Chains A and B, each alone.
Chain A
Amino acid sequence: MKASSSIYQDNPIWRFFSSVRLAVFLLITLAITSIAGTLIPQGESLQFYLETYGPNFFRIIKVLHLNDTYHSWWYLILLGLFSANLIVCTLRRLPFTLRLFRRDNLSVDYERLLRMPFKKDWEIKGELDNDSIQSIISAFKDIAGKFHERIDVDGGRLFLAERGKWSYWGIYGLHSSIMIIFFGALVGLFMGFKGNVMLPEGETIDHIVNRQTGEQIPLGFSVRCDRFNISFYDNGAPKEYRSDLTVLNGNNEVARKSIVVNDPLVYRGITFYQASYRAIPEVAVQVAKSDSPRRSLIISAFQKALWPEEQLTFGLMQYLPSVHGSPAAQIWIGDQEGRAGALWLLKGNEKQFKKGEKLYRISLTNANQRYLTGLQVKKDPGVWIVWLGCAVLIVGFSVVFWVPHRRIWLWIGRRKGKTIVILSGQINKNKLQFEKDIRKIEDALDSSLGAR
């Protein structure tokens, strides 16, 4: 272990990647460069950047991929360097930490005990009887806690109360948590997908469209939107968007859920989020040829309605909810020969139109809104890895900064014809509290030695 680490440390590349200076440099660089993507709108069309920023700045944007800063080559290089730095730093520290962890803290000598940062000694003439020694030890144990003992250390007995030695591993938890989070993100990137779908009420889908690639992704089951509902507060602000969804496997209903923002539906690892909605007008008309019976048709915006018997096609061009108190709609009508025309209908007023030689009657009977629910669909098997990384990050951070390695020694022995008692201690963080603890032991020893 030792030999290999010294070879590594002589390698200049290894040294470069293991320096804290590089870490500080990368953190500062990441902080500064990350600003770019918050000032320049991300993910717009190239045309947008050309028009907004002019040809010169546009060239910079294109070369540096500032339209997608956080996935650009240079940002990924920075993150790669950051990861390399993190890993190499960690590996380089490992032998050092192992030595600290394995170190036998009972193998100290008299001289070193006197050089500790916290130290107090007592000189006693003559010898201490067994009872006094016991009372000193129990006073020590009461405050310092469980201890180990070694006899015959420079002619005396040495006691060590040690706590939090494992805390040296906290930094590994803290640093590896970042790598765990990166790993989770990669898993999500390669094994998951994100997509959107606009689903009209009453309709069913069995695939979605990938947001990045535009590819169709089959779900392996289907989802139906039974109802979409929007409610408002008294002041007109939206209160809730709710979609009633049903999951179907073939024709079997296998799950049902009303989803709202912040409460999605999860089925087979795929999550459906309430993201947006659209209301499209839908009108009902009655049509009839000369004096034959009437027939009802429903015409939705953006969709054609067909009257198969007469081979006529209807479309909704415009819709006005209230003209003199009644709804009105402009209807487009086309036939097989490509002849098309449009006419305005007011609810309650019948109109006539001609196609070729035939005469038809049409009237608007009803009008309402039809909702489409906008769903965000996602599969991300890496998300639990990310949460694990976050948990390790918090635990590791707390250990690194708040769990100290504390050592308190007590030596009782004879030197130059005198009995000497030494209390000394060392801690690597939270020195203020430690000082108080040491004082307490001091006072306790003072009184038990004084009472003798």
Chain B
Amino acid sequence: MTFSSSYLLSLTTFIYLGAAALYLIHWIFRVQKVGLLATLVTAGGFVIQTTGIILRWIESYQLGYGHAPLSNLYESLVFFSWVTVLVYLIMEWQVKRRVIGAFATPFASLAMAYASFNSNIEDKIQPLIPALKSNWLIAHVVTCFLGYASFAVACGLGIMYLFKNRFSGESKGIIGVIPDCKVLDELMHQTIIFGFLWLTLGIITGAVWANDAWGTYWSWDPKETWSLITWFVYATALHARFVRGWAGRRIAYISIVGFISVMFTYFGVNFLLAGLHSYGSQ
């Protein structure tokens, strides 16, 4: 097969790396046409990646395993990058500010690069182990990763906010093209709300599934606990807006800390801590 899923997905890695570079060039050198090109390349990469994911799903049926491509670290990284690009493209379409791409697409391309180039990550299609054979697999992974991806974008917005805030006097140059702090703050808030809903749904679907599989909806497994920690961090961000003087810069910091917590929930728990979710590390 010339157009196997693995071919398309490796291709996606390079396309997203290119797109991230184009967005950076667009931001730093302020060339409008490069911005349009960046969007087109990202959208093209998204189509190729979507095809790759669907193909991988079909291939798993051809191998006789038959499961959605959401079952191991490689597949989750691909999916994370896919959702991140999806969330970003929707935001670009709504807000029409391409500068945000320079802060959002790197997350997607880094995830793909990590999935493709790290030799410890198994990229072959593997059969599902008994614990993962459940209808809740798709619901749980999709909701969690919609949350993770939104938080990645919110983290990018938080970094932009701090940049902008730091050099607030400059109205020209690379700082000038970054949207206003007020706009960024509102976008960040909306993205966190969106991600928080999905994280909550991810935790709930995980609890329902755990109740089906292990007989307990909450067992303080490190992955569960870290998802709850992440939930606390973003709950802080949502409440902090009601405390005088906490909007803006502090929420930008919380958004970055929150994403570190997301990353630890995603990777740290798999690699550093033992627990029930160990299949995520293979």
- State whether A275 and B200 are in contact (beta carbons under 8 Å apart), knowing that A20-B243, A24-B240, A34-B229 are contacts in the complex: no
Is B167 located at the chain interface by the 8 A CB criterion?
no
B129 CB within 8 Å of chain A: yes
A271 pairs with B215, CB closer than 8 A: yes
15 A-B pairs whose Cβ atoms sit less than 8 Å apart in the complex: A20-B239, A24-B239, A38-B225, A70-B220, A235-B127, A238-B129, A238-B130, A239-B130, A271-B215, A273-B213, A376-B214, A383-B217, A387-B208, A390-B204, A397-B200
Q: Do A23 and B239 have beta carbons less than 8 Å apart? A: yes
Q: In the assembled complex, which residues on chain A have CB atoms less than 8 Å from the CB atom of B211?
A: 383
A260 closest partner in B (C-beta): B130
Q: Is residue A156 within 8 Å, beta carbon to beta carbon, of the partner chain? A: no
B163 CB contacts on chain A under 8 angstroms: none
A451 contacts B by Cβ under 8 Å: no
Question: How distant is the Cα of A30 from the Cα of B216 in the complex, in angstroms?
Answer: 22
Measured CB to CB, the nearest residue on chain B to A71 is B220
For the complex, what is the distance from the CA of A39 to the CA of B204, rounded to whole Å? 24
Q: Please report the C-alpha to C-alpha distance between residue A27 and residue B213 in the assembled complex, in whole angstroms.
A: 30
Chain A neighbourhood of B204, CB < 8 A: 390, 393-394
Residues of B within 8 Å of A31, CB to CB, are 229, 232-233, 236, 261
Return the contact of B229 from the options A23, A35, A393 (Cβ within 8 A).
Answer: A35
Which are the 5 A-B pairs with shortest beta-carbon distances? A31-B232, A378-B215, A261-B130, A262-B134, A38-B222
Contact A390 to B207, CB < 8 A, known contacts A34-B228, A238-B130: yes
Q: Is the beta-carbon distance between A273 and B215 smaller than 8 angstroms?
A: yes
Contact of A239 among B127, B201, B240 (CB under 8 A): B127
A263 to B133, CA, bound (A): 10
User: Which residues of A sit under 8 angstroms from B214, Cβ to Cβ?
Assistant: 273, 275, 376
Say whether A401 contacts B236, CB under 8 Å. no
Please tell me the number of chain B residues within 8 Å of chain A, measured between CB atoms.
45
A398 at the interface (CB under 8 A from B): yes
User: B226 an interface residue at 8 Å Cβ cutoff?
Assistant: yes
Minimum Cβ distance to chain A for residue B8 (Å): 24
Q: How many residues of A contact B (CB 8 A)?
A: 47
Q: Decide: A194 and B127 in contact? CB cutoff 8 A.
A: no
The answer to whether A240 and B130 have CB atoms under 8 Å apart is yes
Q: Which residues of A contact B (CB under 8 A)?
A: 20-21, 23-24, 27-28, 30-31, 34-35, 37-39, 41-42, 69-70, 185, 194, 233, 235, 237-241, 260-264, 271, 273, 275, 376-378, 380, 383, 386-387, 390, 393-394, 397-398, 401
Of B129, B197, B213, B269, the residue contacting A38 (CB under 8 A) is B269
Would you list which residues of chain B between 68 and 115 have a CB under 8 Å from chain A?
none
Question: Closest CB-CB distance, B146 to chain A, in whole Å?
Answer: 14
CA distance A23 to B241 in the complex (A): 12
B273 sits at the interface (CB 8 A): yes
**When the two chains form their complex, are residues A30 and B232 in contact, meaning their CB atoms are under 8 A apart?**
yes
Q: Smallest CB–CB gap between B127 and chain A, Å?
A: 4
Asked if B47 is at the interface of the complex by the 8 Å CB criterion, the answer is no
Which residues of B come within 8 Å of A, CB atoms? 65, 126-127, 129-131, 133-134, 136, 193, 196-197, 200-201, 204, 207-209, 211-218, 220, 222, 225-226, 228-229, 232-233, 235-236, 239-240, 242-243, 246, 261, 269, 273-274
Report yes or no: A38 in contact with B273, Cβ–Cβ below 8 A: yes
The chain B residue with its CB closest to the CB of A262 is B134
* A38-B222, A262-B212, A394-B204 as given contacts; A28 in contact with B236, CB under 8 Å: yes
Whether A42 and B126, one on each chain, are in contact in the complex, defined by CB atoms closer than 8 angstroms, is no
Question: Which chain B residues border A194 with CB–CB below 8 Å?
Answer: 215-216
CB distance from B205 to the nearest CB of A (A): 9
A130 smallest CB distance to B (angstroms):
43
A394 touches B201 (CB 8 A): yes
Quick one: closest A residue to B231, CB to CB? Answer: A31
Choice from A27, A235, A262, A387 contacting B131 with Cβ under 8 Å: A262
11 additional contacts (CB under 8 A) given A42-B220, A241-B130: A20-B239, A27-B233, A235-B126, A238-B129, A260-B130, A262-B131, A262-B213, A264-B212, A377-B215, A393-B204, A397-B197
- Roughly how many angstroms separate A404 CA and B282 CA in the complex, as a whole number? 45
Nearest-CB residue, chain A, relative to B137: A262
Query: Within the assembled complex, what's the spacing in Å between the Cα atoms of A243 and B272?
Result: 34
Question: Which of B131, B220, B246, B274 has the most chain A CB atoms closer than 10 A to its own CB?
Answer: B220
Given A30-B232, A34-B232: A233 in contact with B127 (beta carbons within 8 A): yes
Q: Cα distance A42–B225 when bound, in Å? A: 12
Is there an interface contact between A24 and B243, defined as CB atoms closer than 8 Å?
A: yes
Which residues of the partner chain A approach B208 to less than 8 Å between Cβ atoms? 387
User: How many angstroms between the C-alpha atoms of A27 and B217 in the bound complex?
Assistant: 22
Residues in B with CB closer than 8 Å to A263 are: 212
Q: Which of A37, A241, A260, A377 makes the CB contact (< 8 A) with B225?
A: A37
Bound-state CA distance A273–B213 (Å) is: 7
B127 and A261 within 8 A (CB): no
Q: Within the assembled complex, what's the spacing in Å between the Cα atoms of A271 and B236? A: 37
Question: Interface centre among A20, A27, A41, A376, by most B CB within 10 Å?
Answer: A27
